[in-house]
Amino acid sequence: MLQLIDYRRDHELALIGLCHSPVNALGHELRQALASACQQAAGDPAVRAIILHGQQLSFSAGADIGEFGTPLTWQAPALPQLLDDLARIDKPLLAAIDGVALGGGLELALACSHRIARADARLGLPEVRLGLLPGAGGTQRLPRLVGVEAALEMMLDGQPLDARKGHALGLVDRLVEPDADLLAQACGFARELLDTPLPARPAQSPLGEPGNDFFRLQEAQLAARKPGQEAPQRVLAAVRAACELALPEGLAREQELFRQALASPQATALRHQFFAEREALKIPGIDAATPLREIARVAVIGAGTMGGGIAMNFVNAGIPVTLLEVKPEALDRGLAQIRKNYEISLKRGKLSPAQLEQRMTLLRGTLDYADLADADLVIEAVFENLTIKQTVFRTLDEVCKPGAILASNTSTLDVDQIAAVTRRPRDVVGLHFFSPANVMRLLEVVRGRETAPDVLATTLRIAKRIGKLPVVSGVCFGFIGNRMLEPYAREAHRLVLEGASPAQVDRVLTGLGLAMGVFAMYDLAGIDIGYLVREARRGEIAHDPGYFRLADELYAQGRYGQKTARGFYRYEGRERLEDPEVVQIAERLAGELGIRRRAIGDQEIHDRCLFMLINEGIQLLDEGIALRSGDVDLVWINGYGFPAWRGGPLHYAEHLGLAEVLGGIRAYREQLGAYGEMWLQPAPLLERLVAAGKTRIEAC
């Protein structure tokens, strides 16, 4: 059996090192080993103080998430009981925190009498991001240590804080500079404690304050800020118990809430997302042995909103960027916009003046392609037009050094056709950033027919370095995200011709938890942009005269969306208002197209939009464009505002039932006559899955 604990004695101190790679997740075996090491130290009269630490590893990333949903979660010693036992040891018990103390890892530290941490360690209770609440005493011990408001902030946000902040809050008793020897300092601290009486562990009595009104207000605010999400409300209920109940009863209440949370579909969905994020980086044909190319200099072509945002990502990570434009005014505008963006961060206190200047010095503007000769990675972000992009790539092929990675930020075009104009298609890859590129986490990495494995591996590595979540897609129109958007948005547009209003459609979608409805999104992205994409594919869609007809009509009327204050909605400043004119246009178009208008129910809107979205995602899997269903889910959660707590469209389909989804598509296909026959075609993989009685979406 692996040795999970390193037990050492240093005179009167017992040093208990957790060594369960990679992150000291507190699975059953580690809990067992930890319990017996602590018993040994507690029972040894020669041991006067105990130090827990991560042996050459982070302190602990918490409960083993892989155990959730299995009986191992509860198998003795279960984490809450183990920590309760540790909290009763009547010797100083120190947590020496390096790396991270997250979730159950921080709760382990909270059950100790003292915490010493390296200043750059990160401490947090991120359970809410998994649809859970801290379930091993965190909701009771943290508020007793740092106060209700600070504790709630940590638990509701789930974002870890650094140990310096933890020290200021009273969570960490002593800080150690990043380059110091943590364990030696912890031993020194423990010896100091031997000379002083042991301070009381968190009080047993209820906290009392802040009272009913505070919690009622918090509940209402959470319901407005995080509609539909159960975990934040459970966190609140548990913290309320800390105020109203003595510690043992509070811990029991926390357990009850934790069990409810763990059994909820929202927690299952968020766990699916957690593992999908890690799985997404595992690509067949690429492993640790795949060589990586060095990326020391990046170039971005196009200083518009997208190019500027892309450049900022690299600059933020300390990588110098050359930004190329063809016209001096456009270059000046682009550089000024980047500075302006940084100034906003400065005003918000997220950046110091020195950091701002340092970032701007990493940025070099140019009008001359010859200046790209030393770039290791070039990202083209010019107008979405194949001919223009091919011209850029021909030039890059001339000027870039051998081995440079040439990337296109196309959102719909054929990366193979772009690569084909170069003499180095193996070096070409698609990097589809989402707008605003400096903010959005998703990056679709498009693997062309000839993209070399080391090019793909390098782009995945660099994506992680700049804080993105890369998801690999094969080549097809729109890749994973925009290809799925097409049938989803097509149904939404059609429903408006059939009698729904844009606001009704959007309300159903946001009611499901989507950040934005289809029409608000089109207004934001620009109806003109969607029109240009359709123009390039008119041949493929000519058989349906009603196809996105409403959007085309709005385009013809110059209603481009938010930028013209009119689109599917009207805008007064930032306020979005329903526009009866759009409904009138839809009525006229429906008449011209011979579409019978009727009252459309919310359920039909949900089913037709969502089932078509799901259907296309399943088709992408079957075609091998997406490697697994989790990748499809990640794209829609991180790029299109699909609620993470529903796990993404394909996880949601599993929740609804695959047979129900297929049955729904077939029923609407029949009901909608010629239109249904044209577009509502079930994906063959969905049919095979249902025929085989499968409940999970996988290739079969």
Closer CB to ligand HSC, 279 or 398, in the complex: 279
Binding mask 206-245 for ligand HSC (x = CB under 6 A): ----------------------------------------
What is the nearest approach in angstroms of ligand HSC to the Cβ of residue 120? Answer: 13
Q: Does 98 bind ligand HSC (CB under 6 A)?
A: no
The span of 22-30, 168-176, 536-544, 550-558 binding ligand HSC (CB under 6 A) equals 22-30
63 binds ligand HSC per the rule CB under 6 A: yes
DSSP 8-state assignment for residue 78: P
**Identity of the residue, 100 or 431, whose beta carbon is nearer to ligand HSC in the bound complex:** 100
Rounded Cα–Cα distance for residues 23 and 560 (Å): 50
The tokens for 149 are 């408001």
- Rank residues 267 and 382 by Cβ distance to ligand HSC and give the closer one: 267
Quick note: the x/- pattern for ligand HSC over 277-316, rule CB under 6 A, is: -x--------------------------------------
Which segments of 90-230 does DSSP mark as H helices, in order?
A: 104-111, 138-146, 148-157, 163-169, 182-194, 212-225
Q: How far apart are CA 183 and CA 671, in angstroms?
A: 70
Interface with ligand HSC, residue 23, by CB under 6 A? yes
Determine the Cα–Cα distance for residues 579 and 572; give it in Å rounded to an integer: 12
Residues of this chain, 153-182, that bind ligand HSC according to CB under 6 A:
none
Q: Which span sits near ligand HSC by CB under 6 A: 73-81, 180-188, 355-363, 626-634?
A: 73-81
Active site residues: 107, 127
Other beta carbons less than 10 A from residue 465's beta carbon? 14
Return d(Cα 662, Cα 498) in angstroms, integer: 22
Looking at 17, 126, 448, 617, which residue binds ligand HSC (CB under 6 A)?
126
Give whichever of 134 and 639 is closer to ligand HSC, judged by the CB atom: 134
CB of 260 to ligand HSC, least distance (A): 12
Q: What is the DSSP code string of 576-633?
A: EEE-HHHHHHHHHHHHHHTPPP----HHHHHHHHHHHHHHHHHHHHHTTSBSSHHHHH
CB atoms within 10 A of CB 547: 19
Sheet of 298-301, strand order: 363-366, 321-324, 298-301, 377-380, 405-408, 428-433, 442-446, 469-473
The nearer residue to ligand HSC, 127 or 631, going by C-beta atoms, is: 127
* Contact pattern from residue 32 through residue 61 relative to ligand HSC, giving x for each residue in contact according to CB under 6 A and a dash for the rest: -----------------------------x
Contact of 401 with 374, CB cutoff 8 Å: yes
Least separation in angstroms between residue 23's CB and ligand HSC is 4
Share in percent of the chain as helix, strand, coil (round to 5):
55, 15, 35
Of 62 and 648, nearer to ligand HSC (C-beta) is: 62
CA pair distance 74, 77, nearest whole angstrom: 8
Among 37, 89, 108, 130, binds ligand HSC (CB under 6 A): 130
Q: Across-strand partners of 580? A: none
Stretch that binds ligand HSC, among 9-17, 66-74, 367-375, 423-431 (CB under 6 A): 66-74
CB 17 to ligand HSC: min, Å: 18
Beta strands in 318-465 (DSSP E): 321-324, 363-366, 377-380, 405-408, 428-433, 442-446
Q: How far is the CB of 266 from ligand HSC (least distance, A)?
A: 14
Among 73, 411, 412, 629, binds ligand HSC (CB under 6 A): 73
User: What is the amino acid identity at position 472?
Assistant: V
Q: Report strand pairing: 428-433 vs 405-408.
A: parallel
Q: Which residues in this chain contact ligand HSC in the complex, by CB under 6 A?
A: 22-23, 25, 61-66, 73-74, 78-80, 100, 102-104, 107, 126-127, 130, 132, 134-136, 138, 258, 278
